[in-house]
Amino acid sequence: MSKLILFWIISVFLFYTTPTYSYIGPGLGVGILTLILGFILTILVALFTVIYFPIKKLFLKFKKNKKKK
């Protein structure tokens, strides 16, 4: 019985909506867009540095070995 009551309470909160009459201006939209792009760019730069610098170090090591021979 308590599960049925809990189901109805959750259903009322999920499906009963009222209008909020709020406005999101263009400034907030641009801010959110910048935030998303900055987050994606940060991830890409982090992946680039994790992949690029060890490979660069490996190539420099091979070049030094060639010059010594």
The pLDDT of 4-11, averaged and rounded, is 89
Taking the C-alpha atoms of residue 22 and residue 10, their distance in angstroms, rounded to an integer, is: 25
48 pLDDT band (50/70/90 cuts)?
very high
Q: What is the pTM of this model?
A: 0.51
The pLDDT of 35-57, averaged and rounded, is 93
- Report which DSSP code applies to 33: H
The confidence score (pLDDT) of residue 47 equals: 94
Q: How far is CA 67 from CA 60, 62, 63, 64, in A?
A: 11, 9, 6, 5
Instruction: Provide the residue type at 43 as one letter.
Output: I
- Residue written as token pair 């999920």: 14
The confidence score (pLDDT) of residue 69 equals: 64
Mean pLDDT of all residues in the chain?
86
Taking the C-alpha atoms of residue 69 and residue 54, their distance in angstroms, rounded to an integer, is: 23
> Is a pLDDT exceeding 80 seen at residue 58?
yes
